[in-house]
Amino acid sequence: MKKIFKTLIFLLLVFFSANLKAQDTFDKNKLDDYLNQLEKNNKAMCGVTITKDGKLVYENYIGFASVEDQIKNSGSTKFRIGSITKVFTATMIFQLIEEGKLSLETKLSEFYPEIQNSKKITISDMLSHRSGIHNFTNDEDYQQYMTSKKTKQEMVELISKLKPDFKPGSQTAYSNSNYVLLGYIIEKITNSIYAKELKKRITGKIGLTNTYYGGKIDTEANEAASYKFQAGKWVLQSETDMSIPHGAGAIVSTTEDLTVFITALFNGKLLSENSLEQMKDIKGGLGKGLAQFTFKDKTAYGYNGAIDGFVSSLGYFPDENIAASLIANGVDYNLNDIAIGLLSIYFNVPFDIPDFTAKEINFNAEELKNYEGLFSSKKIPLKITLSVEGKQLYGQATGQQSFPLTPFSKTEFRFEIAGIVIEFAKDNEGKVDYKSFTLKQGGQEFPFKKE
């Protein structure tokens, strides 16, 4: 939900990028060790659940649900799941379609004619982020009101004043505004509230006892607070008032409940096969309530979420009937890299647990200039420019934003928020070879040479 730092990185590395041949056995001790190292080095506070054929095969929890009260994360810890809420909302919309109370071609104007272009915007457009309705969480003033309660009328008025980003159906652009409105539409059609419909249509049907519409965080009720690691400690983050995200991001759940939910969704317990296929219909990178993660010869479906200090990922592999969820209430490391590490170990893909004890080092501007240049690789069709501004080395791929690179040695630079490591080679005398480096990200490596 929240507006977070965005960087276009050179590789389309996605959640669970690994060699996904299903394994009957895996190194549980290594998985435990990886999470223990993340916890020990203050890189994450999170929960992990992996199931196969609906049965639990792995779970672990690290860090604290409440740092202040020293309440540890556990299997009963409930986290805010952010935009994974959208999968629940889309599921309920498709249930209403199956009941004949709605259709994919129904116009938004039937419910909210005050929204600009509402006569041209369909339910299908909103589900697939193709409505052109501007994303209200991208606006600067969102940060000013996100912690305050808003009525439904206030939110509709706010969204109705937003200038459309494009003609409905012509493009795909992620917008929380779509799913806030879809949540309201569920309430209008059912003459009920979202929380009750969620229980009636999903959680009550499949026995999810720890999934519900959230409110103010109550750590005594096993609800996790969220944190950011700053100045050597976990700092409590502000709480978005849950009246604002609604159907776009207001659900609270556990890692186990999420795996039960997505397994039930893909096994016909909530929707027909036809409706599920519609959810999986990908245009511009997004489906109608599901995202697709493609790598090698395998495809997974799921969603990611972020709200306050919470970040989350949920994925399902139809061919293997494997579901995996990862929810963090505090990270100082790239969540995608955490997920890749976990799944690499689970699927017995070679993976070295990173050295989290490495410390940043300082270079002066003259030393950094040795690393400057334009580099290319034969393995991927992108060039990377390294340049120095002040005392900071930056990397920039062709046509993409620049990003800061932090030195951890004379040969190793990292951009940890994206899980990027650039490692320079050494010559025969053990000195830095400034003419070549290896780009490492998501378990993959790409050699680059200076032009």
pLDDT at 18 over 60: no
Q: What is the CATH number of the domain that holds 110?
A: 3.40.710.10
The answer to whether residue 429 sits within a structural domain is yes
- Residues 307 and 415 reside in one and the same domain: no
Give the pairing of strands 212-213 and 298-307: unpaired
Amino acid making up residue 166: F
Strand runs labelled E in 10-73 = 44-52, 55-62, 64-66, 71-72
Domain boundary among 346, 381, 410: 346
Rg value, the chain, Cα: 23
Phi, psi of 415 (to 5 degrees): -120, 90
Task: Give me the half-sphere count of Cα atoms (radius 13 Å) on the Cβ side of residue 27.
Answer: 17
Q: Which residues contact 38 (CB under 8 A, 6 or more apart)?
A: 44, 46, 62, 333, 338, 356
Q: Is the pLDDT of residue 15 over 50?
A: no
Residue 144 lies inside a defined structural domain of this protein: yes
In a domain, 22, yes or no: no
Number of domains in the chain: 2
Mark whether 112 and 238 lie in a shared domain: yes
Shared-domain flag, residues 142 and 49: yes
Identify which of 57, 37, 188 has the alpha carbon closest to the alpha carbon of residue 112: 188
Question: What pLDDT was estimated at residue 355?
Answer: 84
287 and 430 in a single domain? The answer is: no
Whether 70 and 138 share a structural domain? yes
Q: What is the pLDDT of residue 430?
A: 87
238 domain residue, yes or no = yes
Residue 328 lies in a domain: yes
What pLDDT digit, counting tens, does each position of 232-276 carry?
Answer: 999 999 999 999 999 999 999 999 999 999 999 999 999 999 999
Residues 62 and 207 in one domain: yes
Final residue belonging to a domain, choices 346, 373, 408? 346
> Domain check: are 339 and 378 in the same one?
no
| Same domain? 193 vs 245 | yes
Residues 337 and 382 in one domain: no
pLDDT tens figures, 393-416:
999 998 888 899 999 999 999 987
In a domain, 352, yes or no: no
In a domain, 297, yes or no: yes
3-state SS assignment for residue 311 = strand
Provide the residue range defining the domain that includes 442. 365-450
> Do 199 and 334 have their domain in common?
yes
How many residues appear in the chain?
451
Q: What's the whole-model pTM score?
A: 0.85
Residues 132 and 225 in one domain: yes
Same domain, 250 and 318: yes
